[in-house]
Structure 1
Amino acid sequence: MHTKTRTWSVAKSIAVTLVGMLVDAGKMELDAPLGIEWLPKERSSANDPRDAITLRNVLNMSSGLYTVDSRGMEYATGSGLSYWAGASSANGARDRGLIRNPGTYWDYENYDTLLAVLAMKNALGDATTYLEFPRKALFDQIGMRNTLVGTDRFGDFILSSQVYASARDLARFGLLYEQNGMWNGKRLLSQEWIDFVRTPTTAAGQVNSLYGGQWWLLDDSRDDVPKDAYAARGNRGQYVVVVPSRDLVIVRRGLDYGRQGFDVWDLTREVVKAFPEDYVSEGE
């Protein structure tokens, strides 16, 4: 319960929380361009079509940039190079060409998350503020005392995957969302931002609107799980499920290699059975 283990892509939901705090504070804008210096550098950066990519686009996994990790080569050519091979996560994210109009096509890509993280770094202004921000803004506020955010060797947070946290810390994180951004009477995250992360991306295409803003949504076809359930999901069995209508947060830590068939919504269904609808009113 207290041991730090890797969250994998649950980290993305932590990333969008930190970004949301800056949007709430007026330091970032959801529908503004990222303001990133793209690679490779040209003699003139004027009229780079990538300048049209917004924060919303990357948080919805619809930047329109050439995808790397979704092609199954992430450990050879993609973001994995910053995990274990000493590459720059920020440079890898911004050294991609535009192949579609931003916001028109959903494609799950670690580098899109890392573009949002780079924009967050730029908004915070200096390295010290940036490196202290997750702890001061979020972890210390809700008691996530056993959580560590990894960086690459250049000091950039790898918030697509490299976060290590305990099960209790992840439960606290989920509880922040279950309580609609409130913690001990203090608002840490706006209701508007929570609504954003739970709203299906309009570019979802082939995934049946299962994705919001760095959180996964319930399949429309399921009628055995409350419709308001949503989840942070990580590779190899890491899940934080929030079910607001049942006042529930479910944390599942795993080490599932290969295709083992674990279904987080089946787990949610079984847990919900233990908490009938009248449990909420009785608890109140």
Structure 2
Amino acid sequence: MKITVKAILLKFILLVFLPVFGQEMYFPKRNADWKKFEKSTYNESVLQDAVNFALQNEYSGSKDLRQAILKGFEREPFHEILGPTKKRGAPAGMILKNGYLVTSWGDTKRVDMTFSVTKSFLSTVAGLAVDAKLIADVNDKVGNYVWDGTFDGEHNNKITWEHLLQQNSDWSGELWGLKDWADRPPREGSLDDWKFRKLQEPGTVMEYNDVRVNVLAYSLTHVWRKPLPLVLKEKLMDRIGASTTWRWYGYDHAWTTIDGLKMQSVTGGGHSGAGMFISTEDMARFGLLFLNNGQWNNQQLLSKEWIELATTPSVPNVNYGYMWWLNEKEGDRHWEGVPEHVFYAAGFGGNFIVIDQQNGLVIVTRWLEPSKIGEFVRQVYKTF
């Protein structure tokens, strides 16, 4: 192959000059200071307006998250705290461009609960299982992998991994003492109507339901045959330089025995306590991995194919993929003025990881009033 002087010159420019201007992807080392993005490339005043907006629109719920949880889910029958909780900190956040730090606010090293952002971590553990061929296909029936009765019956036997990941399985049953019908009951009609309703065909109707999410976590625990936090730590978090401070909890009584070892089955959220407890900086690292299609410092930790699957709209809800929210315009979760290709993880209390692969952006914001997230993200986009 003939190599021209022009090609050599172009390669020299890419290797030498692009890093100076922050155009190549940057991956921070563990415990290192985060390198800053070149200030001349964005409007600093507009950016500060966005940060001020986040600080001025703090989540209105109690900082005692135990109280905030009980208040937030008081409509659920039999609802109680079953796992660890933690008083939260003040608003915090980070904005990255191509991995470089544009700005941050609050205590970005503080570990806090992150509620349903945990679901995107859980989905990722499923992706790692697919990449490792522990799950042959997301369209496989889960009952072919978990045979202890969890997926017995005419309805539950139809459920695939994809149904659980997209939250449209309508799995029926009880896990860790929690009944599926007691989670987020409808505002209209009686509880008996909900309890004895006709089950929806798997794959046809999305219903946000933490009991079924925890069924996915339980099933993945049996596929991996080890605790999911250990899987996440070894396969991903250590490799992206995450701190040693994050924790992933299950309910206090949610234990199963596999291969003679007793292990906790974790939750995919925190609305009865438990879930992921993590810092803003570790959330940003996780977002940066997805920004770069699963690659970290030239190592493919999670397949690009999985990320494409995880961010593909489901049939019942175009704004939802594999436990990632999608900014598709046709859905009712669309943020006006924000690109449709954006996807994000979202949790109770205003915890978000927002990812824009096309523009190299990762936005992490914590304890922002949830109704203000669209406006906040729009303000961030005005910066660049």
Alignment TM-score, normalising by the size of structure 2: 0.58
Consecutive unaligned residues of structure 1, counting only runs of 5 or more, are 78-95, 276-284
| Residue matched to 2:360 | 247
Partner Cα distance (1:196, 1:268) in 2: 24
Question: What's the offset of the Cα at 1:72?
Answer: 6.9
Structure with higher helix content: 1
Could you tell me which amino acid in structure 1 is paired with residue 117 of structure 2?
V
- The corresponding residue for 2:230 is 132
Letter in 2 for 1:55: W
Equivalent residues of 1:10, 1:233 under 8 A apart: yes
Paired amino acid for 1:227: E
SS at match of 2:265: coil
Match of 2:182 among 47, 68, 91: 68
Q: Decide whether the 8 Å contact of 1:180 with 1:194 is kept in 2.
A: yes
Report 1:7-18 matches (<5 A).
7-18=114-125
> Paired residue for 1:57, among 150, 156, 163?
163
Give the letter for the 1:157 counterpart.
V
Paired residues, number: 239
Counterpart pick for 1:195 among 300, 303, 308: 308
**Quick one: which amino acid aligns to residue 140 of structure 1?**
D
CA shift for structure 1 position 236: 0.7
Query: 2:208 corresponds to which residue?
Result: 108
- Cα pair distance change 1:172/1:102, threshold 3 Å: same
Contact 2:284 2:353 in 1 (8 A): yes
SS class of match (2:281): helix
SS of 1:213's equivalent in the other structure is coil
For residues 197 and 182 of structure 1, the distance between their equivalents in structure 2, rounded to whole angstroms, comes to 16
Alpha-carbon distance in structure 1 between the residues aligned to 2:115 and 2:346: 8
- 5+ residue gaps, structure 2, are 1-107, 173-180, 256-263
> C-alpha displacement at 1:163, in angstroms?
0.6
Contact 1:59–1:112 under 8 Å retained in 2: no
* SS of residue in 2 equivalent to 1:242: strand
Shift, 1:223, TM fit: 5.1
SS of 2:251 mapped into structure 1: coil
The answer (yes or no) to whether the contact 2:155–2:171 under 8 Å persists in 1 is no
* Equivalent residue number for residue 156 of structure 1: 265
Question: How many percent of aligned residue pairs carry the same amino acid?
Answer: 27
Q: What is the Cα deviation at residue 191 of structure 1?
A: 1.3
Tell me, yes or no, if structure 1 residue 38 matches structure 2 residue 161: no
Letter in structure 1 aligned against 2:241: G
The more displaced of 163-172 and 146-155 is: 146-155
Query: In 2, distance between residues paired with 1:72 and 1:140?
Result: 41
Contact residue 338 and residue 378 of structure 2 kept, 8 A: yes
Matching of residues 84-95 of structure 1 within 5 Å: none
Who wins on radius of gyration, i.e. which is larger? 2
Q: String of CA shifts for 1:21-73, please: whole Å, max 9, x gaps.
A: 1111110131111123335x9xxx5x543111001001111002354322179
Residues 70 and 107, structure 1, Cα contact 8 Å, conserved in 2: no
State the alpha-carbon separation in 2 of the partners of residues 195 and 116 from structure 1: 20
Query: Kindly tell me: are residues 189 and 97 of structure 1, through their superposed partners in 2, closer, same or farther at Cα, counting changes over 3 Å?
Result: farther
Going from structure 1 to structure 2, the CA distance change for 1:122 and 1:100 (only over 3 Å counts) comes to same
Q: How many Å apart are 1:160 and its aligned residue?
A: 2.6
Residue identity matched to 1:24: D
Q: Secondary structure at the match of 1:156?
A: strand
Higher share in strand: 2
Q: CA deviation at 1:226?
A: 1.6
Structure 1 consecutive aligned stretches of length 4 or more whose deviation exceeds 4 Å: none
